[in-house]
Amino acid sequence: MRLSPFILLCTTGLFGIFSSTVAKSPVLPLFTAYLGGNPTDIGMVAAVSSFMGVVASVPAGIFSDKIGRKRMLIASALIFATAPFFYLFITTIWQLMLVRFYHGLATAIFVPVAMAYISELFYKERGEKLGWFSTATLLGRFAAPVAGGTVISLLIFSPAWSYKAVYLLCAAAGIITLILAFRLPHPHPSTEQSNWQNKEAFKNFRKIIGNRAILLTCIVEAAVLFAYGTFETFLPIYAIQLGHNAYEIGILLSVQVITLALSKPFMGKFSDRHGRKPQIVGGSLIAALSVGSLPLFKGFPFLLLMSIFIGLSLSIVTSATSAYVADLSKKESYGSTMGLLGSIMDIGHTTGPLISGIVAYHFGIAKSFLAALIVVAVAGIFFMLMLGIKKDK
């Protein structure tokens, strides 16, 4: 059966993100502790791959503009397929960090390049298609902890073998990703060869970072991810303080991911029809009010409702921001634009827990949610004041 390029890319993304996620959730902190790591080591190991998202997304996007999307997707898939085997020979923390550094390149390359690939294939329904792609990757991200946790539970009698089994599962998914990536067609075969000679890639990137609308859009997405990072990091601790149990916390976190996965294609389609800017502003304000309302009530139903709204706001904003920055870019610089969006997004997601952690340490966890409210609200209002909310023609 011959799959369409879009379905093939979504399937590739599902297996790729499943592979990268099963390598870290829940196995990574357990494996780090098994190697003798302390809490500081666990945090450092976890941060390595996130750091790669910040530093590698932009170069990956630029190179995809220069040498073609498919080549970069195959390069990413090669990392997905080979990195898991290195985990099998790790005996020290520093070795684990090196492997995580290498493995983090896969997602840092794949996501912005895949988004540029979709933006190049579609125009009128770009938001909807980007939403469906995101849902496919979220399915992989959601299934991975369940699969990894099941493997570890089944082999609990032998921790060493349980970790190896998880990384063999990771390798299998990575190999499938590589096979699928080779089957992807070039989005525009006639332009691939000319891109090899393209000396304008870095010049185009300078134009992108000088585009006020693109930068403001990236900043709003980073602000929303700042709030999301604060929510997913401190909600478990806050809920425990309120007397909720681990089972309820799991529901609170899961329902947010499910809401995001189910709603994103429809939010993308909505932005295709009704405009990106009103949706970005509205979603950011919903995110601000939702995360800022968490300290107001203690009951589980209210926390569940706010979790759903946070997931919905993330869907509303991110389904529109990725499509909007593509709308503002030229075809030959889609990769650079998506790389910039991914890099700034990762900065927001990474700094959220760090800055909110400082606020929580000095003023309490409830105040960290208020800090996230301020960050998102300021970003959304500034975006509205600078660019307006009128639909672009």
- pLDDT tens per residue, range 246-302: 678 878 878 888 898 899 999 999 999 888 999 999 999 999 999 999 998 889 999
Structurally, at CATH architecture level, domain 204-387 sits in Up-down Bundle (1.20)
CA–CA gap between residue 119 and residue 320 (Å, rounded): 13
Element counts in the chain: helices (H) and strands (E): 15, 0
Q: Is the pLDDT of residue 11 over 70?
A: yes
CATH hierarchy code of domain 5-188: 1.20.1250.20
- Average pLDDT for 362-384: 92
pLDDT of residue 261: 87
pLDDT of residue 192: 45
- Average pLDDT for 370-375: 94
Q: Are 46 and 28 in contact (CB under 8 A)?
A: yes
The helix, strand and coil proportions of the chain, stated in percent and rounded to the nearest 5, come to: 85, 0, 15
Domain borders along the chain are 5-188, 204-387
Q: Is the pLDDT of residue 212 over 50?
A: yes
- Average pLDDT for 322-331: 87
* 283 burial type by CB count under 10 A (0-12 exposed, 13-18 middle, 19+ buried): buried
- Average pLDDT for 298-313: 92
- In which band, very low, low, confident or very high, does the pLDDT at 193 lie, cut at 50, 70 and 90? very low
Q: Is the pLDDT of residue 393 over 60?
A: no
pLDDT of residue 199: 55
Q: Is the pLDDT of residue 227 over 80?
A: yes
Q: Is the pLDDT of residue 201 over 70?
A: no
- Average pLDDT for 181-209: 65
- Average pLDDT for 214-234: 89
Q: Is the pLDDT of residue 357 over 90?
A: no
Is 204-387 the same fold as 5-188?
yes
What does pLDDT average to over the chain?
A: 87
- In which band, very low, low, confident or very high, does the pLDDT at 384 lie, cut at 50, 70 and 90? very high
pLDDT of residue 281: 94
Tokens of 294: 């968490």
Q: Is the pLDDT of residue 188 over 70?
A: no
* 366 burial type by CB count under 10 A (0-12 exposed, 13-18 middle, 19+ buried): middle
